Structure 1
Amino acid sequence: MSSSQRPGADATVSAVSAGVTGPLAELGLDVEAVELTPAGKRRVLRIAVDKDGGVTLDDVAAATRAINDVVDSSDALGEQPFTLEVTSRGVDRPLALPRHWRRNRSRLVKVTLVDDTVVTGRIGESDEDRVTLDVDGSAREVPYADVKKALVQIEFNRKDRD
């Protein structure tokens, strides 16, 4: 979760995040990021959500209604106007939690390890502590504790989709 550099923005982001997490969980959605940024006289409240199987437009619509209800019933954002954007997690965000690895099974990922070694492989089995990558036909088990950064790679012409 991030915010602008303005004082109090972190507290606002924390309050909004805490308020929306429960209602979104009831919809089967995880809160992946909450950002509040200035945009002229308004602010933009951007909330990224995700779930197993991916987020649909109906999920985004339901999440938007739930978030509006929470924000309207609290004073977390005060009186200053804001624009709400609800998005899916997106492939440009790093894989940081076990559920991110699980949800991206069979996708190609570029992993930078804590020793700065870079490994590119296809995501296989994963659990709460580690992931198995298929690296050029060989299985390589990677503990999450050894991962510095991991990004899904975009593939336009993949022939072996599940």
Structure 2
Amino acid sequence: MSYQILLKKLPGNEDVPMPRKMSELASGYDLFAAVGEPVELAPGERALIPTGIAMAMPPGLEAQIRPRSGLAAKHGITCLNTPGTIDADYRGEIKVILINLGQEAFRIERGERIAQMVFQTVPVTTFVETDELPASVRGEGGFGHTGRS
């Protein structure tokens, strides 16, 4: 299935690349930093990084903002609120909350790939209030109930 996503470059960001896949079968579209000046993230520090774009999606879609594996593995840079959700009715600038979980400061430059955006369908659901839930094998087993190995 194919969906049309409307992308708008915000004024002053004409030089920032549009989201794009870096390989033919990639699931995510890389997002690029639209910072006015380089941003230095010290270890443990977080920052809201603009991308210079806004978009419109059809109803029934959401965009999820996820970390880039290379930044996470090599530098400890990841996204807070992961995956971040962009709803179909949001029209503001897409921004990414980055945090430095690494041991060294990390510099974010304009035009640098900072995260990836993956589109997902959102099912229509209805809640039905009830006094009893059907039994299952798992039951109420929660966090760690199956052990470590």
TM, length-normalised to structure 2 = 0.26
Select the structure with the greater relative contact order (CA < 8 A; seq sep ≥ 6).
2
Structure label with greater radius of gyration: 2
Larger helix share, 1 or 2: 1
